[in-house]
Amino acid sequence: MPPITRALRAGLVLMIFAAGAAPAMALDPGEALKDQKLEVRARGISRQLRCLVCQNQSIDDSDAPLAKDLRRLVRVRLVKGDSDSQVIGYIRARYGDYVMLRPPVQPGTWLLWFGPALLLLIAVVAIVIRVRFRPAAAEAAPLSADEQANFEALFGDDKPGREGGA
């Protein structure tokens, strides 16, 4: 078997194992609530909140101490009887909209939400304008008498369409 085929096969096996690996949850067993319904709600809320240390993970996935503190805070607020929106509002009031993995659509976040689409639209318009209004290909002007004489002097018998020189 050629080495390239073996390398491709090994790479494919590695990708299959990597894709099958489930993300590990950072929740410690001691953090889980006894009430299963509250625990499901707490996990749902934790998946919506950003770890302020890791920044690209939810607090549900993060092992950072701040994420653990926020998970505990979510559970404390749920045990006190807060609704999901009240828990999220409580945490947003303390950490701002940045704590949300999906920030709300409001004037302060319009660029975040609509900026990529706006840049894509500008690029498409620029391409259309460039293609539509580009100058037509200029046709070659005929050679002047001096240019024709220089051409003849340089290439004399080697004009296109002739074979050999005799």
pLDDT digits (tens, 9 = 90+) for 73-104: 999 999 999 999 999 999 999 988 888 888 88
Yes or no: say if 28 and 68 are a contact pair by the CB < 8 Å rule: yes
What pLDDT was estimated at residue 107? 87
SS3 content of the chain, % helix, strand, coil (to 5): 60, 0, 35
User: Is pLDDT larger for residue 72 or for residue 25?
Assistant: 72
Evaluate if residue 36 carries a pLDDT over 70.
yes
**CA–CA dist 116, 118 (Å, integer):** 5
Residues in CB range of 151: below 8 A, 6 or more apart: 143
Residues in CB range of 72: below 8 A, 6 or more apart: 31
Evaluate if residue 162 carries a pLDDT over 60.
no
User: Is pLDDT larger for residue 33 or for residue 63?
Assistant: 63
Is 3-102 CATH 3.40.50.720?
A: no
- At residue 23 the predicted structure's pLDDT band, cuts being 50, 70 and 90, is very low
pLDDT digits (tens, 9 = 90+) for 99-156: 888 888 888 888 888 999 999 999 999 999 988 888 776 677 888 999 999 989 998 7
CA 64 vs CA 20, 22, 43, 44, 70: distances in Å: 25, 19, 16, 19, 10
Q: Give the position of tokens 């609530």.
A: 33
- Angle subtended at Cα 135 by Cα 134 and Cα 141, rounded to the nearest 5 degrees: 155
What pLDDT was estimated at residue 96? 86
pTM over 0.75: no
Total Cβ atoms within 10 A of residue 71: 25
Total Cβ atoms within 10 A of residue 26: 20
Total Cβ atoms within 10 A of residue 166: 5
What pLDDT was estimated at residue 117? 94
